Each structure stands twice: as C-alpha cells, then as structure tokens.
Structure 1
Amino acid sequence: MTEAARVCAECLSVPYSKVCRYREKENDLLIEAGHGWHAGVIGNVVSRADVTSPQGRAFITGKPSICNDLRDDNDLKLPSFYVEHGIVSTIDVIIKGSDDQPYGVLEIDNAQQHDYDQHDIDFLTGFANVLAEAVATSARTGVLQRTIERMKVLVAEKDRLLDQKKVLAEELQHRVRNNLQLVYGMLSKQLDDTPDKAGQRGIRAISRRVSTLAQVYDHLLGSEMTRTTDFGSYLRSLCLNLAEIQAAPDGGVTLTCDSDAIVLDLDVVTALGIVVAEVVTNSYDHAFPGGKKGSIIVSVRRVDGDIATMTISDDGTGFLAKTESKRHGLGLVRRLVEQVRGSATIDSEHGTIWTIKIPVDRIAFAS
C-alpha cells in the first residue's frame, strides 16, 4: 500500500497521498500507508468517519469528494497535520472492501490550490479499485506490482498526448489494449509458475477479467474517443471469444448471443462485460459435469419503461447457493451489478438463469 500511495502521488503530480483504513470499533479512519508525510503521521493520525473531514465525507456518502480549497470550507474539523503540511486541495475516493463495508479511503493532497475535475476522479477511482483488489488478494502482490508499473506508463503517455486529441483517440486505445494483453501474458506466465490449485484459480480469474477489459478496447479501436459504445456488438464479440477459449474438442457445449443494439456508458460496458465472462465461464466449468452436452444463451433486450434486461442461462445441472454466497462468482457478479445500479436474480432449479436489470437512466438505446 505504501508503494501504491507513492505511485498514485507521482502519477497525479502531487506531493502527498494516503490510504486510510476504517476502524469500525473506533468509527474512525486511520492513516495506514502514505507518501510524503512527516514522521509520526502514518500509523498514528486518525480522522473522524463523518462529514467533518474530506475522507470522512467520502466514506459516509460512498461518493468521491473534492475539496479544491480547504480554506473555504468552514464545516471541516481537520487534524493538525493538514496545516503542518500546508494542504489546500484534496480528492478522496472509496476503497472497496470484501463485503458491504468499504475498506477505507484513498486521498491525494496538494499544498497548492488546484481545481480537480471528473478526469482526476475517474483515474483515482480506477486506482482505488486496483488497490481494493490488492487488499483482497494480497498473496498476489508481485503481479499487482507489475500492473501498477504498467498503469504508470500509460498515464505518462496520456499526459504527453493530451494536445493531440485525434491521435490520442487512436493511439491510447491501441496502447491500453496492447498493455492489457501484456499484463494478460504476465499473468499467464505467473500461472505456469504457480503450483498450488487455489493460486491457479485466483490467477485464472484475474486473467479472464483482464482479457475482458482488453476486448473493450478492441471494440473501441477505429472509433472516436467517446464515453459510450454499442454494448450489443461488444457482447457478440465477447461471446465469440469466450466460446473459442472454452470450446471442448467434441463441441458438446454451445454458446449463443442475441442482443439488441444498445448504447451504454463505457463504465457500464466494462462492468457488464466482466459479469458475462464470470457467469458464462462458471457455466462452462460447473454446469455440464462429465462431458454432458448443453447450451449457454446470453440475451440483452430493450424493454418498455425504465429497465433493460440481460439474461444469461444454461440448461445444465443448476446449483444451490445462498444470496450472500461467494461461490460460483456470486459475490463479484452482485458487486458489479450494484456498481451500475442494477439488480440480479438467479433461478437454478432446472439449469441456471441469471436475470440482470439495468436502469435506463444510465443507458441510451441506439436509434
């Protein structure tokens, strides 16, 4: 976490950053790790987990918090180290935890007044998501370290190309895709060097998610840089790739995809793409034991009113799992669906059917 804080500060060109861990018993946020602070701050200083501190606001509301000038906010009751370090501007985002309780908050601090915007929040949120994965899978810190270094290279290249928007739209997409493929290759090499079965399963799961993200950029190549894309077209491409990866020699299990043309925000496309990859892979792995034949169907439909519906079904053996269970990828799938303000239900009595509903106010249908 200390190294992650250093890289985060360096990427955003600020002198300070910190990782604050929530302590439920004390109801406060302890500075667990950080970069740039005087001796005695890390591991000792706490902030109240309420709206009287920047990190407390982010933690309580669950939303990013920007303070472009702390001197203008009279409602804050800041620990003394803010004044001692001359902190003026901050951004705070949530670090997700393993359940409904966030792990804590990631904050960057600037001794110079700076007007931060949504682009800074997007980067910091993405970085916090990587950090959350590191907290949850600390045994794989070597893989994470290389991933952070690769992210730093991408950010540096992004800054260099900001004045070339058309070139950026093409070049950045190529580079992100290529670097994700490079990370995928690094994970594959790590898989070969990992002898234990549990470690192999964890690395395969991360590899699958990296591959799914890479396909988002494959789908964007050749288009203008926008915040939306056709989810239906992306989904068909994703399912073709999953079918190629999972196909058995005898072709006993078929995967088909049928989707309306629906334009979605890229964050929603990314989250739902990982959901589809997780559920479809789970069906391949568990629904057809002993070489049993069957089919998997992915469908997305426009609906009247305020909801779009995606179903992922198989005609396999089904399974029993509690609502809060982490088995069969349920925990990750539910978190991703909640992230896009959707809902998910499962019917697993005869085969398995996932029904995922997405609110229309987060999407726009193609004409």
Structure 2
Amino acid sequence: MPNSQRVTERTVEKLQRQQAALAAFGSFAFRETDLQKILTEAARICAASLEVPFCKVCRYRPAEDDLLIVAGCGWKPGVIGGVVSQANETSPQGRAYVTGKPVIIRNIITANDLALPEFYAEHGIISTVDVVIPGFDGKPFGVLEIDSPSQHQYDVHDINFLTGFANVLAEAVATATRVQALRESVEQKNLLAEELQHRVRNNLQMLASMLSAHARDEAGVAGHSVDAMIRQVTILAQVYDSLLGVGLSKTIDFAGYLDALCVSMPGLQGPRAHSVAIHCRADRLLLDLDAVTSLGIVVAELITNSYGHAFPDRDGQILIDLALDSGGKTAMLTIHDDGIGYRPQDGSSRRGLSLCRRIVARIGGTLELQPGAGTLWAIGFPAAA
C-alpha cells in the first residue's frame, strides 16, 4: 500500500474518531446540568481525541483580568483551581483570548516571548494549542487548551476539531448556566415562601392561643366574642396559606388565588345545622402581591359574615364572581349570598365592614352594598398589576 494512501486512511480514521467524540460530548453535555462535570468531561474528551495527556479549561475573570483553570485532565493536584496567566498576549492562553484566534506553540522552549507558569516545566510541557471558548454575554467564556510533553505537528483538522469542540462547549456552558440560575431562583423563592409561611403561621397561632386562654377565663357573651376573634385569626392564616399555594412572585393570578381561598373557607367556619355552598367564577387577572393580599382579607371577611348571619335557619349559597370590563382596565369582584339580606348591627360586624372599606380604598377600589335579594357586595378596583 502506498505511503500516501496509508496517511489518507489514518487521517480519515482520526476525523471519524474526532467527529464521534464531538457527538458523544454534545449528547452528554446537553443532558447534564452540572457545569463542573461538563467542563471536566470536555477536558477528558479533548485530550483523548487528540492523543495528548493534558487538557485544561480556563475561565476568564473580568475583575482580575486573568484566566483561571476551572477543569482539566492529567494535571497534578493543585493545578486546577489556580490562575494560568493574565488575559494578555504574554501567554498562549491570553493571546488566544485577546485575539480570538487559535494559538499553536509547537515548542514552548524556543518561544522566548512567552510567560509560562512553573507547572509547565513540572509536567514537561513542550507544545500547546489554545482556542477561544465563545461566551453568551458578549465576552468569551475563556480558553480551551491541549498540552503535550512531546512536540506535535497539529494540522488544520485538529484545529478545526478544537474550534468546533469549543463552540459546542460554549453552548453547553450557556445552557447549564441558565438552568443553574433558574434552579437557584426557584430554590430562593421556595425558601422565601417557607420562611414567610413559618413566620406568619407561628405568629397567628400564638395570637390564637392567647385568645383561647382569654376565652376560657370569660363567660357568656364575652367568651363567644373571643371565639369569633379566634375564628377570624384562623381565617387570616388561611388567606396567607392560599397566597403561598399559588406561588410567590411579583404578580399573581388572582383567579387561581380566589379558587383556592373559596375551597378552604367552608372548613374554617363554626359548626352549623344547615349547609352553605360556595361557588367561584373568575376571569384570569394578574395583580401585585399587595392587592391580592388585601382583596383576600376582604373576601374572607365578607364570606364569614354571610356564614354567620345570612342563613340562620336554612341552607344557602354564596357566589363569588370576578370579571373585567371591556377595556380590561378595571375589575369587579362581587360576593353574593341568597340569605335573609344585610342587616346593619352594632359592634364587631360594623367595625369589620369599616375595615374592609379602608383596605379596599388602599388599593384604589370601592366597596358598595348593592340592592336586591340576599346580600350583594361589589368591589370595584383597578385591574393593572
């Protein structure tokens, strides 16, 4: 077999190996979410594909203007995690980073214009190739470098492989970084929700316990009054629980929140001989956290009033309706029961309604009692989140 044919066959075999390695890495990298594992596997595959014992991935650090070795293959302990060079043209890595072009050093001993760290000599490094790893924020992520203790003759296929590999690595880094940022955001939100839930519930339980102790010391009307206060505290706790159930964010779907609140309200009312059904119909509406919380407190108070006064001797139903106007700028929330009708009373009930009006006014809305059968409360408020 002619020598030229053997060379051609070896070249084809090498290209096939490199293409298979690139495909295998791409498949691995886009399944894996751990960035460190991706970088380490990249170094291993690059070294194996180009038949060299050493490879490293260097990340650019803007504040220090240097290149930090974040992953590698074949190096002694202590190399990974250290700085290889500044990001300037005094080093092979820095030159590649600054120029954006591959840098091939076939013999670093004769390259007198390079500043090299001591571990190169410790590992007997003779030749290096550096290519830039593109970035996803306007600046390159860093540099991918292979190193060998013997002088290599790298051809255009090797450079193309390394460049292509660096591009795939850049996409994998961008994906893993986005996934990690999303995971951290979700974890932070979950921790915030758990902490808020823990604190609110503890405070309300403490208040309920104090009121319970006070109720045991009271008799007659006073004791019943305190029992009602305890029920209100428990309902307030449910307002927060329903809020956490739909997730904490800058804006919340008020329709979903209303559904959750209405489902939980019957179980929080006192024992009664007759049943009361709650039905909720709501258009999707995004509101900010303050508006949702305020409206939730008012809805819970008005539902509780209906339970307590609208159906003294029969079954009944309460209808909750949330609708947007045609322009989508204002919303109307109604709480309508088919009971005996609203009868103003002195005492806590009146004070409760006065508080509801103040809460609604705080979000730029109004609370009005509408004429008709039963009791119909109408809350108009701005629909903008």
TM-score band, normalised by shorter chain = 0.3 to 0.5
Q: Under a length normalisation based on structure 1, what TM-score does the superposition of the two structures give?
A: 0.46
Q: Rg: which structure is higher?
A: 2
Q: TM-score, normalised by structure 2?
A: 0.44
